[in-house]
Amino acid sequence: MWTSRAAILRQTGAPMTIETLEVGPLAPGDVLVRVRAASLCHTDLEAIEGALAVNLPAVLGHEAAGEIAALGQDVSDLAKGDRVVLSWNPHCGACFYCEKAQPILCRTFLANGPRGYHFDGKPRLSCDAVPVHQLMYLGGFSEYCVVPAQSAIRVPDAMPFDRAALIGCGVMTGVGAVTRIAKPGWGDTAMVIGCGAVGLSAIQGAVLAGCGEIIAVDPNPARRQLAQAIGATRAVGPEEAVDLARSLTEGRGADLVVEAAGRPETFRLSVEAVRPGGQIVWLGKVAVNEEVAFRWGSLMQEKRIVRSSYGGANPARDFPMLARAYLDGKLKLDEMISARIRLEDINEGFAALKRGETVRSVVTFP
């Protein structure tokens, strides 16, 4: 058993408190990770505000990187000191969906994740002997966390922890939406709606996939500027997006549109801006019971729509490739870090995320 300082959410809407947890013991397939960096994502914010139901008390944080500090007795493919990026999609490998190569729909994953339990349905953390839940099997806002070994993906030692953390959710989701889900053709015209961490990553996915024109759409001029700095060839506000896509494509519309803003109007915009026969990947989300209306004509003409969680991630395959791309200068991550903060400043970090001031704040641990 270990102890760890962590940010604990005890009540929806209330600030997290910094407390000391009891961590462990490790089950045979677990690893103990010394967390070195954990970034603040919108999904954590949804949990804080109650839009995403999580059992409390809980440790949030699902974009994290660190080093292996201890191994469960059955873990043989990782070693103490390995540098790892954490994946929030452990999967059993044997259920109907795993057999269909759709691990994001794994039955065990979907059964235990929403309850904030570990992959075997049991807790690993406690505070004064009361179990503490882990968001998305991780709980990265803690000096140490216990995760299934398959959730700890080794990356090169040269990969800086704070930038490695981003790979675990937003970067994987955005890059994967283009490279793993849509797989556009070389020279295709892509549009990305919403230029937060997810959209900025989708833009980079379009660059890596060899797209020609890459249109970034965001009402925020600072985000448009950032989008152009990391590879968008054009950047406009949402009201100009459809006309621009058509003017660049002899009136057809974009070959691929990635939606990464999570608003009814951006889902609508995505289907208006794509060409007949083109494809749309939705990444954003609204509340699960909210209805989104479409003009029927905008859905016609053989358009293909996929709503993706995690951008078709295969973390064991993709995280090392993303780290390598960063180290080779092909994937820009420095630009996405707006602030490095202490664990004690996490509540203010989320307030800044909610105000739209930061792309990503990263909690760094000494």
Ligand X SMILES: NC(=O)c1ccc[n+]([C@@H]2O[C@H](COP(=O)([O-])OP(=O)(O)OC[C@H]3O[C@@H](n4cnc5c(N)ncnc54)[C@H](O)[C@@H]3O)[C@@H](O)[C@H]2O)c1
Structural contact between residues 330 and 208, judged by C-beta atoms closer than 8 angstroms: yes
283 binds ligand X (CB under 6 A): yes
91 contact, one of Zn ion, ligand X, none, CB 5-8 Å limit per kind: Zn ion
d(CA 299, CA 309): 21
199 binds ligand X (CB under 6 A): yes
170 binds ligand X (CB under 6 A): yes
Q: Which residue is nearest to ligand X (CB)?
A: 196
CA atoms within 13 A on the CB side of 94: 1
Q: How far is the CB of 47 from Zn ion (least distance, A)?
A: 10
Instruction: Pick the stretch among 105-113, 156-164, 166-174, 298-306 that binds ligand X (CB under 6 A).
Output: 166-174
Q: How far is the CB of 176 from ligand X (least distance, A)?
A: 9
198 binds ligand X (CB under 6 A): yes
Alpha helices in the chain (DSSP H): 42-49, 96-99, 107-112, 161-166, 172-176, 197-208, 221-229, 241-247, 264-273, 296-299, 315-327, 346-354
Structural contact between residues 260 and 174, judged by C-beta atoms closer than 8 angstroms: yes
Residue 251: partners with Cβ closer than 8 Å, 6 or more residues away = none
176 binds ligand X (CB under 6 A): no
Tell me the C-alpha to C-alpha distance, in Å, between residue 210 and each of 52, 146, 183, 207, 239. 36, 39, 10, 5, 26
Residues 40-69 within binding reach of ligand X (CB under 6 A): 41-43
Structural contact between residues 80 and 70, judged by C-beta atoms closer than 8 angstroms: yes
Binds Zn ion by CB under 5 A, chosen from 106, 135, 145, 209: 106
5 binds ligand X (CB under 6 A): no
d(CA 319, CA 70): 21
Rg of the chain taking only CA atoms, in angstroms: 20
Structural contact between residues 30 and 147, judged by C-beta atoms closer than 8 angstroms: yes
Structural contact between residues 134 and 6, judged by C-beta atoms closer than 8 angstroms: no
85 binds Zn ion (CB under 5 A): no
Nearer to ligand X, 181 or 207 (CB): 181
Looking at the DSSP bridge assignments, the partners of residue 217 are 193, 236
Q: How far is the CB of 360 from Zn ion (least distance, A)?
A: 10
Instruction: Pick the stretch among 72-80, 281-289, 298-306, 327-335 that binds ligand X (CB under 6 A).
Output: 281-289
Instruction: Pick the stretch among 12-20, 23-31, 78-86, 306-314 that binds ligand X (CB under 6 A).
Output: 306-314
Tell me the per-residue interface mask from 213 to 242 with ligand X, x by CB under 6 A, - otherwise.
----xxxx--x--------------x----
**Could you list the residues that contact Zn ion (CB under 5 A)?**
41, 43, 91-92, 95, 98, 106, 169
Contact set with ligand X (CB under 6 A): 41-43, 169-170, 173, 193-199, 217-220, 223, 238, 260-263, 265-266, 283-285, 308-310, 356, 359
